[in-house]
Amino acid sequence: MSALPPTPGQTVGPFFHYALPYAGGPHLVPAGHRDAIRLHGTVYDGGGDPVQDALIEIWQPDPTGAVVQQPGSISRDGWSFTGWGRAPTDGAGQYSFSTLAPGATDPGRAPFFAVTVFARGLLNRLFTRAYLPGDALADDPLLSSLPDDRRGTLVAVPDETGLVFDIHLQGERETVFLRYPGH
């Protein structure tokens, strides 16, 4: 029997907004947790307008750099850190997570959040990274492989409420997106 050829995908949105968000999705830890940080930002389209119906997922290690393998990622019990969260954008295109700062998974690598973007008009989800600002950025293999003027699109910026990571789907300030084998 021969393998079937791949067929084209359908766009990933906007229908996901009705089924994928869930209570507690953006709260990897409660906002009042002593080590909680806020990762937030705005998703912009190619014209620079906010995308009001995007969905952002983050995947991350714990603060020691260990990849979390806790079952029950959707279950939010208030004390188990699962390393995964999902947040929809609001009417202003903004999203927000309450989480812990990830640690580096290997020596010589900068700590980062793995970010997945779902939005209307996309034929498939997009993958990127939100790196924590700091000295480790200079030696990170992925960041150092990028042109200097593109690295900044992957680095979160501190503000008075946490870390800001804006996502630009297209245009002059387009975020660097990644492709993984088989995707």
Sorted by where each begins, the domain ranges of the chain are 16-168
DSSP letters spanning 88-150: E--TTSEEEEEE-PPPPSSTT---EEEEEEE-TT-SS-EEEEEEPPSGGGGG-HHHHTS-HHH
DSSP label of 8? P
Identity of residue 101: A
Q: Which class for 2: exposed (0-12), middle (13-18), buried (19 or more C-beta within 10 A)?
A: exposed
d(CA 83, CA 3): 36
d(CA 170, CA 139): 27
**Quick one: CATH architecture of 16-168?**
Sandwich (2.60)
d(CA 25, CA 87): 6
What does the pLDDT profile of the chain (183 residues) look like in tens digits?
567 776 655 556 555 666 677 778 899 988 788 999 999 999 999 999 999 989 999 999 999 999 987 666 666 676 778 899 999 999 999 999 999 999 999 998 999 999 999 988 887 889 999 999 998 898 899 999 999 999 999 999 999 999 999 999 999 999 999 998 876
- Model confidence pLDDT, tens digit, residues 60-93: 999 999 998 766 666 667 677 889 999 999 999 9
